[in-house]
Amino acid sequence: MISPTRSSSVQAKARRDCFDAHKKQDEIGNIYLVCHLCEGRINPAIEPWIAEHAVRRAVGGSDAPSNVLPAHQKCAREKDRVDISENARGKRVSDKHFGIVKKRGFNRRRDMKFNWQAGRYEGGR
């Protein structure tokens, strides 16, 4: 996932480091990368690719080249989509579990009625 707080020059450096660390060369001398998601070959000259954190920075992944791997843009987009929904689900579950999210409104007894003239709930006991 690309954090919006990182400048484009930092991203360019990360991509360059990633490229240098992971580039491979085939028997006829073509430079290529291997997508860490689908394990397919990326031709970096013609295919859009991104430098991706194998372990997300959000969960403590480092910026070291060993953790920043090339991926097809389309594969990364698919993974990001899954990551985001997993994160959101995980957050919702823990919010509920640890009582972070409170129920909205106050617990009005069912037999109370709102008195518009008085501006308050009345009745019940």
Tell me the two tokens of residue 23.
Answer: 């580039």
Two tokens at 24? Answer: 């491979």
Contact between 72 and Zn ion per CB under 5 A: yes
Assigned token pair, 92: 């919702």
Least Cα distance to 2 among 86, 58, 44 occurs for 58
Residue 72 · residue 35 · CB < 8 Å: yes
Tell me the residue length of the chain.
125
Shortest Cβ distance from residue 83 to Zn ion (Å)? 15
Scanning 11-19, 26-34, 35-43, 81-89 for contacts with Zn ion by CB under 5 A, the matching segment is: 35-43
| Among 38, 61, 63, 65, contact with Zn ion (rule: CB under 5 A) | 38
Residue 35 touching Zn ion (CB under 5 A): yes
Query: How many residues of this chain interact with Zn ion, rule: CB under 5 A?
Result: 6
Contact set with Zn ion (CB under 5 A): 35, 37-38, 40, 72, 75
